[in-house]
Amino acid sequence: MTLRSSASTEPFRAVSYPWRLYCGTGALDHLPAEIARHGARHAFVICGRTVAHRTNLLARIRDRLGDVYGGVFDRMDKDSSYSAVRAATDAARAAEADLLVAVGGGSVIVGARVTAILLAEKGDAYELMTQYPAGQPPVSPRLMAPKLPIVNVLTTPTTAMNRAGSGLRNDQLDHRMEFFDPKTRPVAIFWDAEALLTAPLSLARSTGTTTFTACLHGIAAGSANPLVEGDHRQAFRLARRALPRLVAEPDDAGPRIDLCAAAFLQNRAADDGAVHDGRDRVSSAAYALATALHVRYDHIGQGEATSAVTPTVMRRLGGARGPGARRMAEALGVGTEGMAPEAAGAAADALDAFYRAIAMPARVRDLEIPEVELPLLARDTLKNFNANRGAQPADHVEQMLELLRACW
């Protein structure tokens, strides 16, 4: 029998990691059993000031932990600054922490991951982070020491929930401090309905926008791996349905949980091989520009930065996507059979309209930053491992500046 070439006969890989997921009303009631499963005696909580002082979430967790509650660091800040993570590490070490409970969104979860790294690894943090040798691809050191188990309690739908890479803001450097360690993946994830409702609509919409956009890029990328393709399609379907519902029904936990599920599926697709193909030019450029914006300016969220640059980047670079641009247009409901050169523009227009319908900015000028600082932002994109893992072209900054001016 002769086998015809098809997606189902193409080689593919899949990876799974040990984790448990608890979702819905009362999900946090399972926290004591999860802590006991790891034999923890000093469960140390990491969160931000809002969770600690403007919600009852920390009190709920403290009540459920009981005698194994080992203290809290409640000053994790936006984009996980190095100074805050150093302070969290010192506090966790003083508390003799043997398990970390991260309570919050992406910044808190990322900060807890690096806290686990700094608690375990010997050597200076600047040596443990990703290195950028001049004229060569970046290198992430292998971090071999065992890490404390981490439990993530989400307050916003974020793809940070179960990843292995972490980036810290450090104003003393010209780029983020980046770390990679699969041993910092969580042993458990909680999508507790009440916890998710503690996040204000603006924050949930911002993180949800980031998730939705990542799912759309996944659709454009396509895959010969049926597991990746299935996760991409379901993730996008969930995110596209949930984001407008979130805006219309901010007191309903359902859309927030659906966005958490979309983010989780997007991560699983990456683990199953999508990430190993690398980002295409459109998603790489949009991610680099958005990261530069939200890391440099405290008032800009990742979702707002993402929506402000993505449509224009798609118009400028999307033509090179070929079938990917058509898949994106079809997913947004504007694709037609045989559509080719005009697909990227049609998809960009539809995405622009989608963002505006949920009151998200679609131009960089809407972010209220000085236009004169665009060259500085273009330079900020030089060192971003998630955007580009190879050596950058000599004219990279000029290309990014041209895109930023088009996004303005």
Write down all domains in the chain, each with its CATH number in brackets. 20-131+141-196 (3.40.50.1970), 280-408 (1.20.1090.10)
Q: Is the pLDDT of residue 390 over 70?
A: no
Average pLDDT score, the chain? 92
**Whole-angstrom distance, CA of residue 47 vs CA of residue 31:** 16
DSSP 8-state secondary structure symbol assigned to residue 142: P
Tell me the pLDDT band of 337, cut-offs 50, 70 and 90: low
* Confidence (pLDDT) at 389: 61
> For residue 257, what are the CA distances in angstroms to 227, 243, 260?
22, 11, 5
For residue range 189-212, what is the model confidence (pLDDT) as tens digits?
Answer: 999 999 999 999 999 999 999 999
* Confidence (pLDDT) at 258: 98
* Confidence (pLDDT) at 8: 57
Share of the chain above pLDDT 70, in %: 94
* Confidence (pLDDT) at 6: 44
**Whole-angstrom distance, CA of residue 225 vs CA of residue 9:** 9
* Confidence (pLDDT) at 2: 39
Measure CA 169 to chain center: 15
Is there a contact between 286 and 269 (Cβ–Cβ < 8 Å)?
no
Exposure string over 193-228, b if 16+ CB within 10 A, otherwise e: bbbbbbbeeebbbbbbbbbbbbbbbbbbbbbebebb
Q: Is the pLDDT of residue 40 over 80?
A: yes
* Confidence (pLDDT) at 274: 55
Share of the chain above pLDDT 90, in %: 77
For residue range 160-188, what is the model confidence (pLDDT) as tens digits?
Answer: 999 999 999 998 988 889 999 999 999 99
What is the rounded radius of gyration, in angstroms, for the C-alpha atoms of the chain? Answer: 21
* Confidence (pLDDT) at 277: 52
For residue range 12-31, what is the model confidence (pLDDT) as tens digits?
Answer: 888 889 999 999 999 999 99
> For residue 28, what are the CA distances in angstroms to 129, 190, 194, 342?
33, 7, 9, 49
